[in-house]
A and B are shown apart, each in its own frame.
Chain A
Amino acid sequence: MLTAVKNQFKITLLSVKYALQREMLNKFTFFSNIIFMIINNGCFLIQWIILYSLRDGIGGYSFRQILLLWGLAAGTYGFSHFFFKNSYGLSSAINEGRLDNYLVQPKNVLLSLITSNVDVSAMGDILYGYIMIFIYGFEIKTFLLYTLFMVIGGIVLTSVAIIWGSLAFWFGKVDMVANTMNGLPTSFATYPDGIFKGFIKLLFYTIIPIGFASYMPIQIITDFNIYYFFVVISVTILFVILAFLIFYKGLKRYSSSNLMNVRV
């Protein structure tokens, strides 16, 4: 059992390493992608500087906490898109029959698939997240907690993407719906939750789970709360289990590329 996990981990890392090598073939594109993404995120700080010149404590957040919010939004997005890029193209992979090669290998199909490609510009997001943490104020504890929550939040976002993508097993072409749904966390995650009221907050703790990926972690980083900490960890585990369950349930309906030839 333990060796199996170790071997799986080894393959996952190798896979990411090779995918990264592939992206580094063109050094100029590689670095410009990363740098552009950092500048891209940086641009939006202008918005917050103006907003905070109008009023302080928007949504109960200090300006420093806004930096943390931005850092975590970029970091979780970056982690998820860098290591698990293919979970965002899962529905088309299912429809086009691109699971075949992974199904004949003695490894976890889902992990093999989602780690077989990396998004280089997502490295810019990860770096940007750390830049924000340094501006926020560097402390070993903040740094470690931030890193942990970047990983955890990234896993939550990935799990949700897998769930949306897996719907393709049942409903076929769901790319547009999945893309739209996967865009929602990113849209909301850069705004403080305090400005929202009512039912939308419920969404943050269900289908747009940035409550667990961003808002609760920020609470924990600014003012450590053991209760929140365990809630976030357990919910993440639940999301992962749910994603795997749904994917493997759907896999039984997988039709490879056999349906590609059928056009009516």
Chain B
Amino acid sequence: MSVIKVKNLSKTFKVKLKEKGLKGSLKSLVKPKYKIIKAVKDISFEVEKGEMIAFIGPNGAGKSTSIKMMTGILFPDKGSIDILGLDPSKDRKKLAYEIGCVFGQKEQLWTHLTPYDNFKFFGAIYDIPNSIVEKKIKELNELFELDEFINTPVRNLSLGQRIRCEIVASLIHEPKVLFLDEPTIGLDPVVKENIRSLIKRMNKEYKTTVVLTSHDVGDIEKLCKRVIIVNKGQIVLDDTMENLKYHYLNKKIVEAKMNKEVNLDDEEGITILKDKGYNLKIEVDTKKKSVSDAIKLLNPDNIVDINITNIPLEDIISDIYKDGDE
């Protein structure tokens, strides 16, 4: 059963261009110039109940705009959205009872209150009787391990603790769909990992449908079974994580600083991107050669410094485009 049905969704923004100075101000008053920005262009997809789906794409790709239309924040220009049988632009309040939202860059908690008081406030927003709220807080407290700081004012919490509280606040009313917009932005890797596993556990426990956005592929690798990649307002790929991994995430970039020169020419599964004597940058195809084998070839004893990263999302997207052309 689909809980989210999006059909031919489009959104454009009209941006007023302004020149500086008095002359510019007057000019833009008399004859304003506009720039049309197509943020979302004709996208369609469906999400099943209990599914965890990720929207990824570079900054400004249109993923936030899409999520904001699905949650009723923005009005679509064209197309239709159906969330649990409701139209976000018409039944905003009704829908609000059914969904939860966390915006990584926009706090919704009162920072001078404790998480506990905040949760009670959210309970009141969703008209939940006090006794039920308290039970729910207890339950979520255990699931998200908030015990340590549930009675500390939010302003004294770390960013990671705050995000955990934000997520709990959005779950108080037992939403059927949870939207997470860049939930791990600005967090360090360890905390990121912790948040991911908590979200996973929550999804398992409550069977909540989760839609999340990120511009970090790593965010999603372990979390979602399905990925939608958006770029310039369009869906460039809607596929399972497994396929994506197999086709596009099988390459790692290894940058190494050596104290001896090595020759890796003609090694299978290794492409040399940059070779400046002691500084080396290679791409490892993990289908053909594991990263550890590649490092052995470099001889670990000679490595001064090493850095292993994923292929940037932008490169994956251009890869997908190339495949489409063929």
Contacts and interface: CB of A to CB of B under 8 A. Distances in A.
**A–B proximity contact (CB within 8 A):** yes
Interface of A: 3, 7, 10-11, 14, 18, 21-22, 25, 97-101, 103-107, 172, 252-256, 258-259, 261-262, 264
A7 B127 CA distance: 7
Given A100-B68, A254-B73, A261-B60, A106 B126 contact: yes
Interface in B37-55: 37, 39
Contact of A256 (B35, B68, B99, B125): B68
A100 B124 contact: no
Given A103-B71, A104-B73, A104-B99, 9 more contacts: A10-B124, A100-B103, A106-B125, A252-B89, A254-B75, A256-B73, A262-B13, A262-B15, A264-B17
Contact of B97 (A25, A103, A106, A256): A106
Interface string B91-107: 01110110101010010
Contacts of A261: 59-60
Contacts of A21: 112-113
B64 A107 contact: no
B273 interface: no
B16 interface: yes
A14 B96 contact: no
B149 interface: no
Give the 7 A-B residue pairs with the shortest CB-CB distance, closest first: A106-B96, A104-B101, A101-B108, A103-B73, A22-B112, A106-B93, A252-B75
Contact of A22 (B65, B106, B108, B110): B110
B73 A258 contact: no
Contacts of B113: 18, 21
B64 A258 contact: yes
Interface of B: 13, 15-17, 35, 37, 39, 59-60, 64-65, 68, 71-75, 89, 92-94, 96-97, 99, 101, 103, 106, 108, 110-113, 121, 124-127
A107 B72 contact: no
Nearest to A104: B101
B71 A104 contact: yes
Nearest to A4: B127
A101 B113 CA distance: 17
A11 to B, nearest CB: 6
Given A172-B16, A256-B68, A105 B110 contact: no
B41 to A, nearest CB: 15
Given A11-B125, A25-B112, A261-B59, A255 B13 contact: yes
B48 to A, nearest CB: 22
A100 B113 CA distance: 21
Nearest to B74: A256
Given A11-B125, A101-B106, A252-B75, A262 B37 contact: yes
B13 A259 contact: yes
Contact of B72 (A104, A258, A262): A104
B142 to A, nearest CB: 25
A100 B126 CA distance: 17
A3 B15 CA distance: 41
A259 B110 CA distance: 26
A104 B37 CA distance: 25
24 contacts: A3-B127, A14-B121, A14-B124, A18-B110, A98-B106, A99-B73, A100-B68, A100-B106, A101-B108, A103-B71, A103-B73, A104-B99, A105-B126, A106-B94, A106-B126, A106-B127, A252-B89, A254-B73, A254-B74, A256-B64, A256-B73, A256-B74, A258-B13, A258-B68
A105 B35 CA distance: 32
A20 to B, nearest CB: 11
